[in-house]
A and B are shown apart, each in its own frame.
Chain A
Amino acid sequence: MPGFGRGKRMKGRGHGKCCMLKEMQPGTRGKIHCHHAKGAVRQRLLDLGFVPEAEVDVIRRAPLGDPIECRVANYKVALRKSEADLIEVKYT
C-alpha cells in the first residue's frame, strides 16, 4: 500500500509489517505494537485506549490534513500527526 513504511521507520520483527500510525491510510486497520511516547503524552494515549495489542482503525484525516481521526477501543479519538508519529502499528 502506498504511503507505508518509510524505510528507516520500518521495524519489522518478523511478524507483520510495522509502520507509524501517522502513515496509515484512512480506511485501514492496524494493531498497536508499541509506543515511543513518554511522560504525559504516553499516559494520555494509554488512557484513551492506545494500549499495545489494541486495534486501531484510521477513519479520516481532518479537512486540512491534520489531525487524524481513529477508532480505538470502540470510540473515536482525534490525534495530531505529531502524536500519531509516536505509535508503532502492525497493520493487518
Chain B
Amino acid sequence: MSISPDFEKNKILVGLAGQQNAGKSTTFNMLTGASQHIANYPGVTVDKKTGFYRYKDVKVETVDLPGTYSLTSFSLEERVARDFLITEKPDVIVNVVDASSLKRSLYFSFQVLEMGFPVVIALNMMDVAGRNGTQINLEALRESLKVPVVPTVGRKSIGKKELREAILDVSNDKNQGKIQAPLQINYDALEKPIEDLRQELTRTSLKDTYPCRWLAVKLVEGDAEALKIVTRTLGDSCNELQTARRIKDVFEEQNDLDVADYMMGCRDKLATKIIKKTVTETKDGIDRVTEAIDSVVLNRFAAPFVLVGTVFMIYQLSIVKGYELTQYWWPVLAKFRALVAGILPDAGMLHDPYLLSMGLWMVDSANALLNYIPIFLILFALIAILEDSGYMARIAFILDKLFNLFGLHGQSTLPFILGGVFAGGCAVPGVMATKGIPDERSRMATILTVPYMNCLAKVPFYTLLINVFFAPYKSWAMLFLSTFTIFVALLVARFLTATLLKSMETAPFVMELPKYHPPTFFGVGQRAVERTWQYIKKVGSIVVAVSVCVFTLLQFPGLSHEKSEQFQREMNQAVATFHEQSASSSYAHQFKDKAALLSLINAYTDYKTAKLTIKTAEGSRSLDAKFQSRYPDLFKFLKPKGDKAAKKINKSLRKLASKRKGLRRQIKEEQIETSFLGMVGRSMEPLTQWAGFDWKVNVAILSSFAARESSVATIGVLYQQGADENKSLEDRMAAETGGNDFTPLHALAIMVFFAMYPPCLATTIMIKVQTASYKWMVFSMVFPTLLGFIVASGIFTGGRVMGLSGIQMMGVFYGFTVLLTIAIGLFKPWGKKATPIAIKPGVSIQ
C-alpha cells in the first residue's frame, strides 16, 4: 500500500464495514448527519451510501459498505464490499461491531484485519449488551486486537466525538507510517506454508494492489475470488497457484481434514480466547424483552393474527388514510396545473394549440403519480419501522414455508406488500425492495411476480368497470380482484422457478432474527423521504417522457383534410348563427371580432366547468365574485342579471358553447380513431375479439403501458358521449356499451387481463435495473401479456360457450385458480435438495 507524502491529509476516505444488524446504518447516520447521498456501486445494483463530515478541518468522506456476515466471495454484497476495500483502499476502516454478540462479530473483524487495513472498532449497542449483563473489558479487547476500540450507542449518538477522534488519529498514524501492526491470526500448522506463499507473492506484480498475506491465506483457503485475481494477473498455471494447491493437498493428506475447516477452526479458537479474556457475562445473555415479544408474535396461534393485523394496519394507515390526505394534497397539484395552463397559450375555437394540449397532458400524467406522494411517504415510513424494529425478519420467518412451496422466499413478503397485496401499492418500490433477498432464484421469481399485485393505478380502472357491470356484487368483485392476483403470482412464481429460473443460484435460508429495538425518528423519516424521492425521480421522468410519446401516437397523423374542413364549416355556421341571434342585442358589436368572441366563449366554458364542482350557495357566490374580478367586462354575459341585452348574448352563447363542445368531442374521437395508436388498436381487433376486447379497449390497454393511470383517462376520452350533460363516466360507459353488447363477461375478461397485463413502463425499467438484463425486462413484458391474453380469452370464450354470466364465470374462474394453487402447493415440496451453489461468474465487480 502506498503512503501519501502529505501526512496530515485534509481529506480522508473512511469505509464503514460490519455485519447486518450490528447498527451500521445508525452509526453511519451518527457520523455523517444528514449530508448523505446514494448511488450504485459501478455495474451492480447494490446501494452505495456516501456521507461527508468535517472534523478538525479534515473533510471525511464516509462510505457505508453493504452489510454482510463475512468478506468471502459467496454473495454479491460480499464481493462488492471486498472490491471496494481492495480498489479504493480507504484510509481507515470503521468496523461496526455488535457488542451484544461479540463473538460472531469477531469473525468479521478478523477478516478486515487480515486484509491489513488500519481499523477502528466501533463497539456498538453497548446499552443492549449492558442490559443483557454482558460486560466487556475494553482495554483487554484493545490489547487483543491491537486496534482502537470505541464504545458507541449509534441510536443515541453516544460516542460520536470519540469515534471521529479515533478515525482521525488512525489516519494520521497511518500517514506517518507509525501504525501498530494489528492482530495476526495464527494458523499454526499452516503458518510456514502461508508465509512461504506470501513471500512468493511479494515477488509478483500483485504486491502493489493486494495485501499479500491476505491473498496467501485466501488462496490456501480456496477462495474463488482470490483464485480469479491471481489467475487474471499471473495466468492459470503460475507457480503461486500451484504452491497454494500443493499446500492444500499436503495438509489434507496429512491431517485428513479440509484445509478451510481447519483455518476456520483456528479463527474460532482465537475468537474464543479473546472472548474469554474480555467478556464477563453476569446474566445468561438473553434479551427478556425480545423473548417476551417473540413468545406472542411467533406463537403458533397468535402469529397469524398479529401478522394479518400488521398488514391490515399498514393498509389502513397508508392506503386509506393516505388517500384521505391526497384530498388536501390534490389542490396543490391542481394549482400547479392551473399555473402551467396560465403560462401556455389559450384554447382555440376548435383546435387547441399543441403546446397547450401537450403541456397539460404532461402535467396531468405527472400529477397522477405525484398525487400518491402522501401514500408513499406513510407506506415507506411504516415499512422502515417494521424493518428497524426487527419484525420484518419475523414476517419472513412465519411465511417462509408458504412462499418456499412456490419457489419464493420468506423475504418476498416485503416486495409483495409494497406491490399491493390487498389493493393499492406500487410495483416500482416493490421491485426495488427485492434487493434484500439473498437467494437469486427466489429474487428473480419475486421480481417477475410483484407486478401481478394490484397497484394503486389499477384500482380506479377496476372501480369503474365494477360500478358499471358488477354493481350488485361490488364487494365480491373487489375481493375477487384483490385475492386472485395473489394466487396468480404464486402460480407464476412456481412455474418460472421450475422452468426458466431452474438453474439459477440459490442460497440457504439462514437469517438472523435481530433483537427488537425501537426505531429512531430520524432513521425512519430519512428512509421514507429517500425512497419516495427515488420513486419520484425514477418514475416521474420516465412517465413524463412516455406520456409525450403516447400523446403523439394519439394525435397523429390527425384528421384528414376534408374532415377537418367539414368540422370547420360546422363551427363557422354555429358562429354565424350566434351573430344572427344576438344581432338585436346592443352588445353584439363587441363580439364581431373573432378574438373577442373566443375569449368570451373560453371564459364561459371555464365558468361552467368551475360551477360543476360547486354545491353550496355560498360557494357559488364566491365563485361569482372570483369570475367577476377576473372578467369585469365579460361577467355580465356569463351570468346576466336584469340586463336584457346581455341575456340575449348569454342565450346564444350557451348554444354556441354547446355546439363547440360537441364538435370538439367528435374531433377528439375521430382523431383517436385515426391515430397511430387507434390504428394499432383496430388492427388487433381480430385477435383480441377472442377475449372480448374492441378497439377502444385495445387503445386503453396500449396507452396504459405508459402508466396505468392513463387507462381511465383514455377510456374517458373514448366514451365521451354525454360528457357535456355532466354524466359520470360510469353512466356514459353503461349507456354507450349497452348498445353494442358489452356484457359483464367482457368486463370480467378485461379486468382479468388488466390484472395480469405487463408492468407499466416505470416498473419494467426498474426490472431492468434490478436484474441488470434487458432480456428479463423484455420477458417481463411479453410473458404477462401472453398469459393475460390466454386467460382472458379462456374466460370470455369459455364463458360464452358455457353460457355463463359475468359473475358466474368469476366464481368458476376463482374456484379454479384457488384449487390449482392448493394442488400445486401441496404437490411435492418444491426442490427438496437445493442444488449445491455454483458461484455465478457473471456478476463480478471489476
Q: Do chains A and B stick together as partners?
A: yes
Name A residues whose Cβ lies closer than 8 Å to a Cβ of B.
Answer: 37-41, 43-49, 51-53, 60, 62-67, 69, 71, 73-80, 82-83
Q: Can you identify 12 A-B contacts, CB atoms within 8 angstroms?
A: A39-B837, A40-B507, A40-B837, A43-B74, A46-B264, A74-B101, A74-B104, A75-B515, A76-B514, A77-B510, A78-B400, A80-B510
The A-contacting residues of B in range 282-305, CB under 8 angstroms, are: 285-286, 290, 298-300, 303-304
Contact A40 B264 (CB under 8 A): no
Contact B512 A80 (CB under 8 A): no
Contact A80 B508 (CB under 8 A): yes
Chain B count of residues within 8 A CB distance of the other chain:
47
Name B residues whose Cβ lies closer than 8 Å to a Cβ of A.
Answer: 69-70, 72, 74-75, 100-101, 103-104, 107-108, 264-265, 268, 285-286, 290, 298-300, 303-304, 393, 396-402, 404, 410, 507-515, 832-834, 836-837, 839
Q: Which B residues are in CB contact (< 8 Å) with A39?
A: 74, 836-837, 839
Contact B398 A63 (CB under 8 A): yes
- Picked from B74, B100, B264, B265, the residue with its CB within 8 Å of the CB of A74 is B100
Contact B100 A64 (CB under 8 A): no
The residue of chain B having its C-beta at the shortest distance from the C-beta of A37 within the complex is: B508
User: With A46-B264, A51-B264, A73-B101 as given contacts, are A80 and B298 in contact (CB-CB < 8 Å)?
Assistant: no
The residue of chain B having its C-beta at the shortest distance from the C-beta of A41 within the complex is: B508
Q: Which A residues are in CB contact (< 8 Å) with B511?
A: 77-79
Contact B72 A43 (CB under 8 A): yes
In the assembled complex, the CB of A8 is this many whole angstroms from the nearest CB of chain B, namely: 16
Q: Which A residues are in CB contact (< 8 Å) with B100?
A: 74-75
In the assembled complex, the CB of B273 is this many whole angstroms from the nearest CB of chain A, namely: 13
- Picked from B265, B508, B836, the residue with its CB within 8 Å of the CB of A52 is B265
State A73–B69 Cα separation when bound (angstroms): 14
Contact A76 B837 (CB under 8 A): no
Q: Which A residues are in CB contact (< 8 Å) with B398?
A: 62-64
State A77–B217 Cα separation when bound (angstroms): 29
Q: Which B residues are in CB contact (< 8 Å) with A49?
A: 103-104
Contact B513 A79 (CB under 8 A): no
- Picked from B107, B265, B507, the residue with its CB within 8 Å of the CB of A47 is B107
Q: Which B residues are in CB contact (< 8 Å) with A74?
A: 100-101, 103-104, 285
Q: Which B residues are in CB contact (< 8 Å) with A66?
A: 400-401, 404
State A54–B836 Cα separation when bound (angstroms): 25
Q: Which B residues are in CB contact (< 8 Å) with A45?
A: 508, 510
The 5 closest A-B pairs by CB, nearest first: A47-B69, A64-B401, A40-B74, A40-B837, A76-B513
Contact B836 A38 (CB under 8 A): yes
Contact A75 B510 (CB under 8 A): no
Contact A69 B508 (CB under 8 A): no
Q: Which B residues are in CB contact (< 8 Å) with A38?
A: 836
Contact B298 A65 (CB under 8 A): no
Q: Which B residues are in CB contact (< 8 Å) with A53?
A: 268
Contact A83 B509 (CB under 8 A): yes
The residue of chain A having its C-beta at the shortest distance from the C-beta of B400 within the complex is: A67
Contact A82 B103 (CB under 8 A): no
Contact B103 A73 (CB under 8 A): yes
Q: Which A residues are in CB contact (< 8 Å) with B268?
A: 51-53
In the assembled complex, the CB of B292 is this many whole angstroms from the nearest CB of chain A, namely: 13
- Picked from A44, A62, A64, A77, the residue with its CB within 8 Å of the CB of B507 is A44
The residue of chain A having its C-beta at the shortest distance from the C-beta of B272 within the complex is: A53
Supply 11 further A-B pairs (C-beta < 8 A) apart from A48-B69, A78-B397.
A41-B836, A44-B69, A47-B70, A48-B104, A49-B103, A62-B398, A64-B401, A67-B397, A74-B101, A76-B512, A79-B509
User: With A39-B74, A64-B398 as given contacts, are A83 and B510 in contact (CB-CB < 8 Å)?
Assistant: yes
State A2–B777 Cα separation when bound (angstroms): 51
Q: Which A residues are in CB contact (< 8 Å) with B107?
A: 46-47
The residue of chain B having its C-beta at the shortest distance from the C-beta of A79 within the complex is: B510
Q: Which A residues are in CB contact (< 8 Å) with B286?
A: 71
Q: Which B residues are in CB contact (< 8 Å) with A46?
A: 107, 264
**Looking at B104, B399, B508, which has the most chain A CB atoms within 10 Å of its CB?**
B508
State A80–B400 Cα separation when bound (angstroms): 9
State A53–B261 Cα separation when bound (angstroms): 13
User: With A43-B70, A44-B508, A74-B285 as given contacts, are A69 and B397 in contact (CB-CB < 8 Å)?
Assistant: yes
State A62–B513 Cα separation when bound (angstroms): 12
Q: Which B residues are in CB contact (< 8 Å) with A73?
A: 101, 103-104
State A71–B75 Cα separation when bound (angstroms): 24
Q: Which B residues are in CB contact (< 8 Å) with A62?
A: 298, 397-398, 400-401
State A64–B511 Cα separation when bound (angstroms): 17
Q: Which A residues are in CB contact (< 8 Å) with B839?
A: 39-40
State A31–B400 Cα separation when bound (angstroms): 26
State A77–B509 Cα separation when bound (angstroms): 10
In the assembled complex, the CB of A26 is this many whole angstroms from the nearest CB of chain B, namely: 11
Q: Which B residues are in CB contact (< 8 Å) with A41?
A: 507-508, 510, 836-837
The residue of chain B having its C-beta at the shortest distance from the C-beta of A80 within the complex is: B509
Contact B512 A77 (CB under 8 A): yes
State A22–B224 Cα separation when bound (angstroms): 30
Q: Which B residues are in CB contact (< 8 Å) with A71?
A: 286
Contact A82 B74 (CB under 8 A): no
**Looking at A37, A47, A83, which has the most chain B CB atoms within 10 Å of its CB?**
A47
User: With A40-B74, A43-B70, A63-B398 as given contacts, are A48 and B836 in contact (CB-CB < 8 Å)?
Assistant: no
The residue of chain A having its C-beta at the shortest distance from the C-beta of B833 within the complex is: A82
